[in-house]
């Protein structure tokens, strides 16, 4: 799923943080910036005034105003026309600088949103780059329960009724934290980072069969929930039919694999669900093992190496 944002949405989202005021070009509030618009390096999402490769959001600081003031009348008019004709999402004046009348007129005539901020240019650049990168990043909604277990993000998946919510409730009671139930949203915010969040409608809520919807924050306290977490592991719960023979599994490494989420391959562990199995303990052990693997410690490989060493020691050749 690719995201998009309008000038009005960006203004409302950043108005308080960046002390923004909308002074001209209000009719351009529906200008749209889509994710596909920033796939190339030029133009960039946000930057200081650039007439050669106009940025999607143009920041006009003291130096930029001095540059415009140094132009001859005709050249200045042509430059302002060129800036407006590039149809940026918005122009932003920094540090509450007075807006030149011809810049205001150009913004109104071309319906170009023109804002003023009390912040410095580098602050606007930092905040807006981060915000737009997240808003426009590719995202996807997956079915499951997203948890923080031992400080890493773990997505519990499985068929409906397999026991994901009950397992999540047990993990919460053991001190782990809920991020999102049922429909966590995942956004790729960097080439190797997928961030998981909860839709506003489902915030702090967990649906458990037989109990209905419970508010985890109210029941267990604010420390039992987490606003977002990076996805590092997927644990799939698979119902095991006692009437059928269990499928063959690698007894050394377990049922491990990978699942493609957006542009990343996320480690996947499949746990059979059967009577008498303590899934909460198994999930904790799986997460601990994953953490150790990240440190280069692999118990299965250690055992294989020991066995090979023993075979070499007792080999007659």
Catalytic residue among 164, 226, 229, 232: 164
Alpha-helical regions (H) of the chain: 7-18, 62-69, 73-85, 101-110, 121-136, 164-173, 216-220, 279-294, 299-314
Can 164 be counted among the known catalytic residues?
yes
C-alpha closest to that of 26 among 131, 109, 119, 121: 109
Can 143 be counted among the known catalytic residues?
yes
Can 182 be counted among the known catalytic residues?
yes
Catalytic residue among 31, 176, 181, 182: 182
SS3 content of the chain, % helix, strand, coil (to 5): 40, 30, 30
Catalytic residue among 143, 174, 239, 247: 143
| Greatest distance between any 2 Cα atoms in the chain | 95
- Asked if 55 and 44 count as a contact pair (C-beta separation under 8 A), the reply is yes
State the number of CA atoms in the 13 A half-sphere of 90 facing the CB.
32
Catalytic residue among 251, 260, 312, 313: 251
With tokens 């919807």, the residue in question is 213
The token duo for 173 is 């009671």
- Asked if 56 and 40 count as a contact pair (C-beta separation under 8 A), the reply is no
Q: Which residues are catalytic?
A: 143, 164, 182, 251
């Amino acid at each position: 799923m690719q995201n998009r944002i309008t000038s009005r949405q960006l203004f409302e989202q950043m108005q308080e943080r960046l002390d923004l005021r909308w002074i001209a070009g209000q009719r351009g509030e529906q200008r749209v910036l889509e994710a596909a618009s920033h796939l190339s390096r030029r133009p960039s999402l946000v930057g200081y005034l650039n007439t050669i490769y106009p940025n999607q959001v143009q920041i006009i600081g003291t130096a930029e105003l001095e540059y415009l003031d140094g132009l001859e009348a005709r050249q200045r008019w042509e430059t302002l026309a060129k800036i407006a004709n590039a149809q940026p999402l918005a122009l932003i004046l920094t540090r509450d600088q007075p807006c030149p009348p011809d810049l205001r007129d150009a913004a109104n005539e071309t319906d170009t949103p023109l804002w003023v901020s009390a912040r410095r240019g580098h602050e606007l650049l930092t905040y807006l780059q981060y915000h737009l990168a997240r808003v426009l990043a590719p995202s996807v909604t997956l079915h499951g329960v997203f948890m923080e277990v031992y400080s890493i993000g773990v997505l519990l998946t499985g068929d409906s009724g397999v026991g994901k919510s009950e397992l999540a409730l047990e993990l919460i009671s053991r001190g782990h934290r809920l991020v999102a139930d049922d429909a966590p949203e995942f956004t790729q915010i960097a080439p190797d980072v997928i961030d998981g969040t909860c839709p506003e409608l489902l915030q702090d809520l967990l649906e458990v069969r037989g109990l209905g919807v419970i508010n985890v924050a109210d029941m267990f306290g604010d420390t039992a929930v987490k606003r977002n977490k990076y996805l590092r592991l997927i644990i799939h719960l698979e119902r095991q039919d006692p009437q059928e023979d269990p499928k063959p599994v690698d007894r050394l490494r377990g049922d491990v694999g990978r699942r493609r989420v957006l542009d990343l391959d996320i480690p996947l562990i499949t746990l059979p669900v059967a009577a008498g199995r303590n899934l909460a303990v198994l999930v904790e052990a799986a997460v601990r093992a994953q953490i150790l693997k990240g440190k280069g410690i692999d118990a299965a490989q250690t055992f294989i190496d020991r066995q090979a060493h023993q075979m070499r020691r007792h080999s007659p050749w």
